[in-house]
Amino acid sequence: MISYITIGASDIDRAGAFYDAALAALGSARQWRQGDWIGYGPDPEHATIMICPPQNGQPARAGNGIMVGLKAETPEQVDAFHAAALANGGTCEGPPGPRPAYGEGYYLAYVRDPDGNKLSAFLKR
């Protein structure tokens, strides 16, 4: 259903370093950079996550109640995502671990990027 998402960034180079590291931990890579836009996804023709400055020229800010959930294949990927995010300017919103309140088999970590956007890496076994 979702074709792509854009995530606002106030400093595209800082955001690129954060997303390069955090998404690499989940097996993804930067596909392209065009000016102030960076695209991530399965291939250069289909970027599903794009990082860019807000088009209205206002400062980037996190959306209240918005979170991007990123699928992981293993608990180790969730752990690596969390560690990479924190090492590249992110902040912890919930350390990696099981989340029994969500149901059996959920393993998640929550972070905020340098602009305050909330992300999770998760898997359900």
In the predicted structure, residue 1 carries a pLDDT above the cut 90: no
Decide if 85 is inside a domain.
yes
Looking at the 3D structure of the chain, how many domains does it have? 1
* Residue 114 domain flag: yes
Residue 74 lies in a domain: yes
45: domain CATH number?
3.10.180.10
Token pair listed for 117: 């956007």
Considering the domain boundaries, does residue 32 fall inside one?
A: yes
User: Which DSSP letter does residue 102 get?
Assistant: G
For range 51-66, the mean pLDDT = 92
Of 121, 77, 125, which Cα lies nearest the Cα of 105? 125
Would residue 60 count as lying in a domain? no
105 falls within a domain = yes
* C-alpha to C-alpha distance for 40 and 44, rounded to whole angstroms: 8
Which domain range does residue 77 map to?
Answer: 5-54+66-124
pLDDT for residue 124: 92
What's the predicted TM-score (pTM) here? 0.92
